[in-house]
């Protein structure tokens, strides 16, 4: 099993993403996210947290709104697990990075 860092990316800031969204829609989004977390099961080893940019001169214009750590056999399994993720339904994207094991054998 490998660990994968999932970065939630968007061209909009979190504030812009929720601009004009009703409290009920925000609650529905939060509920959908928690349901996805539960459906991911033990593969979701760290559900992560939202992030706030402090400094990232090479971000390429995208906001990184949060992260998660997923344990899976390969990146294709991570892609499959992320199918239907509520963040993707908002127009966001995800970056998937395999965490390299730097421990000496």
CA distance 49 to 96: 16
pLDDT, residue 91, reads 86
Q: How far apart are CA 12 and CA 78, in angstroms?
A: 24
Could you read off the pLDDT tens digit of each residue along the chain, which spans 105 residues?
A: 999 999 998 888 777 888 888 999 989 999 999 999 999 999 999 999 888 777 766 666 788 889 999 999 999 999 999 999 999 988 889 999 999 988 756
Beta bridge partners, 45, equal none
Rg (CA), the chain: 15
CATH superfamily of 2-98: Dimeric alpha+beta barrel (3.30.70.1060)
The encoded tokens of residue 105 equal 């054998």
Residue 100 tokens read as 């390299």
Q: Which of 21, 95, 89, 81 is nearest to 45 (CA)?
A: 81
**pTM reported for the whole predicted model:** 0.84
Helix (H) or strand (E) holding 15: helix 14-17
Lookup: tokens for 23: 């409290």
User: By C-alpha distance, which of 96, 32, 102, 89 is closest to 68?
Assistant: 96
């Amino acid at each position: 099993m490998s660990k994968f860092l999932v970065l939630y990316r968007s061209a909009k800031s979190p504030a812009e993403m929720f601009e004009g969204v009703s409290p009920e829609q925000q609650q529905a989004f939060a509920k959908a996210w928690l349901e996805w977390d539960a459906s991911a099961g033990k593969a979701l080893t760290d559900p992560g947290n939202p992030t706030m940019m402090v400094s990232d001169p090479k971000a390429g214009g995208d906001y990184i709104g949060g992260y998660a750590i997923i344990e899976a056999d390969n990146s294709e399994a991570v892609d499959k697990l992320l199918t239907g993720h509520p963040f993707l339904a908002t127009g966001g994207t995800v970056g998937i990075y395999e965490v390299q094991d730097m421990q000496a054998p």
